Amino acid sequence: MNGMTIFLKRRRRAILWTVGLFFFVTLEAQSIERSTVEEAANLASAILQRHPNMMDENARIHLDRLNRSLREALAFERRSQSDEDRRDALSQTPGLLEDLRATLDAAMPQTRFLIDETQAVLQTDARVELPGDQGAILLRIDAQGEGTRFISLEMDSETYPEHRRVGVEIASTGTTWALLEIERAPKAQMTLMLDLTRPDAPSVPALLTVATPEPARLLLTALCDENDEPTPAMIRLTWKTNGRDRMPSNAVAIEPLMDRQGQPRSRRDARLPGDWGGPYWCIPESFDMEIPPGEWEIIIRRGVEHIPIRETFTVDSGQLVEKVYRIERWVDMPRRGWYSGDEHVHARMASDADAAILMAWARAEDIHVSNVVLMGDVHRTWFQQRGWGPEFRVQMNNHALSPGQEDPRTHQELGHTIHMNTTGMIRDVDRYFLYDWTFERARSQGGLSGFCHVLFNMFEVHRGMALFVPFEFVDFIEIMQFNQMGTDLYYQFLNLGFPLTVAAGSDVPWGGTVGEVRMYAHLGDAPFNVDAWFEAVRAGRVFVTNGPMLDLRVNDAMPGDTLTLEPNAPVLISASALGHPERFLPTALEIVANGEVIHRIENENRDAELRVEMEWDADYGAWIAIRAFGDDGSQAHTTPVYATRPGFRFWKIDEAEQLIERRMASLNDIVEMAARYRVDLENDPTNLTKRLFVAQAPELLERVEMAQHYYAELKERVDRERELRASD
Amino acid sequence: MRYRRELLPLLLCCVAVGTELRAFCHAPFSSFVERHFFISFSFEYIDLEVVLYFHHEEARAIRRAIDLDGDGRLSPHEFERCRERMEFWSENLFAWFGEIPIEWVHLHPALIDTHGVNGVNSSLVEARLYLFAPMPNDCDSGLLRLEDRLFSDANALITWEIETRDGVDALMKTPGNEVVDSTFVLASPRLQGASREIEISFIGKSNCLGGDGT
């Protein structure tokens, strides 16, 4: 007897079992339908995503693994090329489905029915309790025979038609697990009429009583740090039972002002540094609402100058809970002479009611000046304003809403422009691409103009900037948005010697919330005044931030100022970046001159403030700005101080020729576009953008020629200045 | 037989429209598909949640693609069909662990949200994909390269956000070679077939791919 025979004899029983199991699994695999596996995975997803509270953590982890395994089998089956591969893909799933059945049985409360031809007999308590007005019930319906089905059903009890039964399509034979998800369950209890239906069998009715615990009542007030008066604030309220956020009862209805653009919701998904991003609602001072019992988390914010509050509390059924939160400042920028603004707020402001909503939002985020902009393209405008100019501003103490416009605005041609403090709508589609026409009118109205989305070099804005910046039409450049700062294109223009003020705008409703990035303008000791704020922006006394607060002086000059250099006399640069231990700490402060970091200090001691004072030789001229970074990912940047020597341009002369070439390339794009659009129009004569562009091309190309001439002269100036510097 | 003959044109129509929705990722757009990628690393898995916001023309185009029967209204059945087609969108999200290509698996059903307005000419459609991939051979360190070819013909505003669990650390290298540890926003013009790429180095308990995580 050889070794193999002995082995076979000894292991005969094990081998028989293995072979038997193999055939069983193979046969079972053939009978498993993809739809059954899909239904099982979808039930697991419904529990994991929306009702994690129905299981303890260990069971949830196990269910997550099961879900992933089922999904992998489904993905493999979908990618399979042959029937055999498809069968193989599903061959593991009987074991997984059995595991799912066992997990549901062991780890979840369930309501069990035994069903025959005519009736469903409840095997468990007739009364099912939800944790609150949201929840789910796991039904297990056993019929005679073999078979399994997993289903999940959603039911909003508030909108569910009266007297209508909840149809539950169960397996013909065997066991059905049905997750019935219920939204907005009424107080106390309701009786659900279920209709258990099977293929080729009459439906069987069943009644189920669903009870909800008496809710608690939450009275919440947010207080202003300055005067302890109630104030609007931004709030997130999360029911820890299911991890879902709940809208405060009197949340400000921002959505109607959004013209169905961007993310037109009253719930605002704030894009903020650190852990503070995510959904918030604006509340007008206080609210009183019923909430389900259990553990809750609340976050209350009021813009970047305040310390957000995060608190977890538990409420019992029927309990009255009063919460008063005083949202403390970590810095008072108005006391330092700086007032915040957001130059890019899209919202309809066509009535007092609209303005009241917007004002609550601006106060909740503590943003002092909101440039509320109409938006246009060649076809139409959105976010209508009832008028422009001081008489249509809305002001409440130190918070103001001022109408403006983001128009003209072209996506694939010249970029988007934004205008503030204008006194009338400036729009003529027959001059739509002649941005200078709009810029001039804005300026004659006392307004300010700039390019937006420059941080991303978006919408081909490099072309518009190349064309119009040389003619001094452009006051500001948007370098902060969506929790990001981008300076590449901005620095290219500064390095060519163009003075440009920094700006920041949230671009709501594409952005998350008003003031999530903001620009501070310096008013000095003067009290808050909207006109003074715009004049400060015109003067360039601005920094942008979503965290650190900056201060820069070059000799006595502030951001936006021009400083005349004396030969061989270095300038004194004083800079600081401020944070707070309970908010964020500045990690680094950089002094940037002509695009280069000339000095950097890091926060080795974890101080709240970084300060630097240094002498620096600005030589023949330079732009000098500071930027800082917070440990939560926040950033800030000032407008430069322009240090100039008579007869010299403040520019990065070594890069000037290359930068001029880039501007020339942008201008050439416009020339080529004019030719291309002319051809395109023959195929698509209804394209309004191209039609207008081609119609306006002769005048536009005149401007391109002027700009080309300007850059050509600038190039000559490079040589002249090099000679001058050499002979100096 | 009679039914089969009558059903044939309907079936062909469904296949054609379904193919259109599946191929929709390559349709030309005049404006934006905004997208958020939330990437979560753990010892065993990488999870990827993709949120897409279709604005203006894109929203109308996708609504028209969902409207299989062309009646101008989006029905629950049409949403269901759309969700099925969305399963294929992940084929336009390429990823590699080191040199190993990743095949994404759907973790949860795809979602499509028309914000309660179900006409074809309305704006804003929001779509969500929940994907995952197992770490190769329980490897939790190395370099992950992600390439987004979803709607590559459209302008994009992309938010990349990374989160780590189980003691895994991750750093993201942006197209501009900036290194960030949490969130990065990128505006990208339409690429006409090209891609948007990002690299994430992750460091966990082991380093079986040989990357140094820097």
Cis peptide bond N-terminal to B189, omega within 30: no
With beta carbons less than 8 A apart as the criterion, state whether A466 and A304 touch: no
The residue written with tokens 């001039």 in the block is A440
What's the pLDDT at A29? Answer: 44
* Least confident segment among A44-53, A677-686, B138-147, B180-189: B180-189
Compute and round to an integer the Cα radius of gyration of chain A.
33
pLDDT in tens, B27-75: 333 467 888 999 988 878 899 999 998 877 788 889 999 999 999 899 9
pLDDT given for residue B204 in this prediction: 64
Q: Which of A411, A456, A483 is the closest to B183 by Cβ?
A: A483
Task: Report CA Rg, chain B.
Answer: 19
What is the band of B194 on the pLDDT scale with cuts at 50, 70, 90? Answer: low
Cβ contact A262–B124 (<8 Å): yes
Rounded (5°) CA angle A91-A92-A97:
115
Residue B12 confidence (pLDDT): 44
Residue B189, pLDDT > 70, answer no
Confidence of residue B97 (pLDDT cuts 50, 70, 90): confident
- Least confident segment among A63-72, A562-571, B177-186, B204-213: B204-213
Task: Report yes or no: B141 and B134 within 8 Å, Cβ to Cβ.
Answer: no
* Closest to A241 (Cα-Cα) out of A271, A213, A282, A260: A213
- Tell me the nearest-neighbour CA distance from A632 into chain B, angstroms: 9
Strand, coil or helix: A706: helix
Residue A538 DSSP one-character state: H
The answer, yes or no, to whether residue B205 has pLDDT greater than 50, is: yes
pLDDT at residue B138 in the model: 56
- How far apart CA A261 and CA A594 sit, in angstroms, is 39
Band (pLDDT 50/70/90 cuts) for residue B23 is very low
CA distances from A467 to A372, A460, A650, B135 (A): 26, 12, 20, 50
Burial of A664 (0-12, 13-18, 19+ CB in 10 A): middle
Select from A68, A264, A457 the Cβ nearest to the Cβ of B132: A68
Q: For residue B212, what pLDDT is reported?
A: 42
Within 8 A of B30 by CB-CB distance, chain A residues are: 411-412
What pLDDT is recorded for position B202? 73
- With H, G, I as helix, E, B as strand and everything else as coil, classify residue B53: strand
CA triplet A298, B185, A279: central angle to 5 degrees? Answer: 20
Q: Name the DSSP letter for residue A332.
A: -
DSSP state of B119: B
B103–A71 C-beta distance less than 8 A: no
Q: How many residues does chain B have?
A: 214
Q: Chain B residues with CB inside 8 Å of A67's CB?
A: 107-108
Measured between CB atoms, which of A45, A262, A456 is closest to B187? A456
Residue among A42, A72, A483 minimizing CB distance to B105:
A72
Q: Do B189 and A277 touch (CB under 8 A)?
A: no
Would the pLDDT of B20 be above 80? no
How do residues A526-558 score in pLDDT, each as one tens digit?
A: 999 999 999 999 999 999 999 999 999 999 999
- CA-nearest of A504, A546, A525 to A639 is A504
Kindly report the average pLDDT of chain B as a whole number: 75
CB contact B31 to A (< 8 Å): yes
Q: Which of A535, A450, A502 is nearest to A625 (CA)?
A: A502
CB contact under 8 A, A411 and B30: yes
ipTM of the complex: 0.82
- Buried b vs exposed e over A37-68: b needs ≥16 C-beta within 10 Å? bbbbbbbbbbbbbbbbbbbeeebbebbbebbb
C-alpha to C-alpha distance for B129 and B139, rounded to whole angstroms: 24
Q: How many helices (H) and strands (E) does chain A have?
A: 13, 40
CB A417 within 8 A of CB A435: yes
In degrees and rounded to multiples of 5, residue A232 shows phi and psi of: -60, 150
Taking CA–CA distances from B187, the nearest residue in chain A reads: A456
* Rounded CA separation A103/A70 (Å): 14
The pLDDT confidence band at residue B9, using thresholds 50, 70 and 90, is very low
Residue B191 pLDDT class (50, 70, 90 cuts): low
pLDDT tops 80 at residue B190 = no
**CB distance A261–B55 less than 8 Å?**
yes
Give the dihedral sign, CA A432/A435/A437/A442: positive
Q: Which of A71, A254, A382 to mutate to test the interface with B (most CBs of B within 10 A)?
A: A71
Q: Please identify every stretch of chain A with a pLDDT value under 70, giving residue numbers as ranges.
A: 1-31
Which chain B positions have a beta carbon within 8 Å of A74's beta carbon?
A: 105-106
Interface test with A, best of B22, B30, B105 (most A CBs within 10 A): B105
CB-defined contacts A:B, below 8 A: 77
Q: How confident is the model at residue B187 (pLDDT cuts 50, 70, 90)?
A: low
Nearest to A651 by CA among A626, A622, A624: A622
Name the residue among A384, A378, A399, A390 with its Cα closest to residue A420: A390
Q: Establish if A78 touches chain B: CB-CB under 8 angstroms.
A: yes
